[in-house]
Structure 1
Amino acid sequence: MQARLKKTVVLVGMMGAGKTAVGKALAARLHAPFIDSDAEIEKAANRTIPEIFERDGEPFFRLKERQVISRLLEHERGVLSTGGGAYMAVENREIISQKGVAVWLNADLDLLWSRVKHKDSRPLLRVPDPLTALTRLYENRVPVYAKADLTVRSEPGLSIEDMTTRVVEALRTRPDVLEVLG
């Protein structure tokens, strides 16, 4: 498929929804750059996300996240994967709507838990009861993610390629974002 991005595609959703994996595959399929906002924050801070949370706290991290997302949306069009909490900030939602298109990778709680329960790289789950913490985050965030421009449902057993195809199909409904050539 030959296509041209007119706006940056910003993947939003919970940790474990597949934003990075699907984002990389989508960028490859669209011949567009892939950018991970968390990786850009780590590069700018010269520290990992868990180190930033531990040393400076979540409010400092959220400030840096907002600055990085704003900067990334100013430059070339591509596929931007954001951290799970990025879309919660009104300022981030506004800039994403102005400069790009938000695509919510909507995975249910059971699927998310199956993907994150064995990883210790999630600062917000470094608590005595991570499933309860994930459930609380999920319940708080889903109503906000539902405000995204497009929603793509994730289901158990779908490959990264299948999810990427679903995202492309959703983007095809937005000629202001994706121009299909030929």
Structure 2
Amino acid sequence: MTQPIFLVGPMGAGKSTIGKLLAAQLGLPFADSDKVIEDRTGADIPWIFDVEGEAGFRRRESAVLRDLCTGEPQVIATGGGIVLIPENRALLKNHGFVVYLRAGLDQLVERTSKNSNRPLLQVADPREKLQEILQQRASFYDDVADLVCDTDDCTPKQAAQLVVDRLMAVSAG
């Protein structure tokens, strides 16, 4: 790969976990856009949401994406909401290969239930919020994706291998 590989999908789809495994298999560096934001600001994502709101966080996320687009080939796990901004969708489509890690609602609920570091899920009914997020974003994920990988019925290692296999098939074809 001569360009970045962006992983998109909702929170809980496995972008960070699968991304690290994928990067290792491909011999590429790995970056997590949320971690880059935290490193740059010296604050965690929930704090940024509390102080700057979602709009402030999205501005920071867009700036990080612009920087990652101009960097070396690498695997990049993006935040679940990165596709909400049209300019971000254009950057993803024009500056890398985009893999949509798709997971069903039940899997997303299970995977996110043990993590309190997700500001958008600090609500009375996280399942309902995840359903709302999926309905809002699914068409955006589909729109930017060069490849869709369902992660429901596989381990992170299996999902990473599936992405590698599909990437090799795309490269060969």
Q: Contact 2:17 / 2:156 at 8 angstroms: preserved in 1?
A: yes
Do structure 1's residue 30 and structure 2's residue 23 form an aligned pair?
A: no
The letter for the 2-side match of 1:83 is: G
Q: Equivalent of 2:140, from 114, 137, 144?
A: 144
Give the secondary-structure state (helix, strand or coil) at the position aligned to 2:101: strand
Superposed CA offset, 1:33-83 (max 9, x none): 000000000111110000000001111110110010110110111000001
Which position in structure 2 is the counterpart of 1:111?
A: 107
Q: Equivalent of 1:130, from 119, 126, 132?
A: 126
Q: Which segments of 5 or more consecutive residues in structure 2 lack a partner in the other structure? A: none
CA distance in 1, matches of 2:146, 2:57: 25
Which position in structure 1 is the counterpart of 2:39?
A: 43
Pairs aligned (count)? 171
Query: How does the TM-score come out when normalised to structure 1?
Result: 0.90
The letter for the 1-side match of 2:150 is: R
Which position in structure 2 is the counterpart of 1:84?
A: 80
Which position in structure 2 is the counterpart of 1:162?
A: 158
Please report the RMSD computed on the Cα atoms of aligned residues, expressed in angstroms.
1.2
Give the secondary-structure state (helix, strand or coil) at the position aligned to 1:161: helix
Q: Which segments of 5 or more consecutive residues in structure 1 lack a partner in the other structure? A: none
CA distance in 2, matches of 1:64, 1:149: 25
Query: How does the TM-score come out when normalised to structure 2?
Result: 0.95
Greater helix share, structure number: 2
Q: Equivalent of 2:150, from 148, 153, 160?
A: 153
Superposed CA offset, 1:72-122 (max 9, x none): 110111000001101222111111111101100010111111111222111
Q: Contact 2:105 / 2:131 at 8 angstroms: preserved in 1?
A: yes
Q: Percent identity?
A: 38
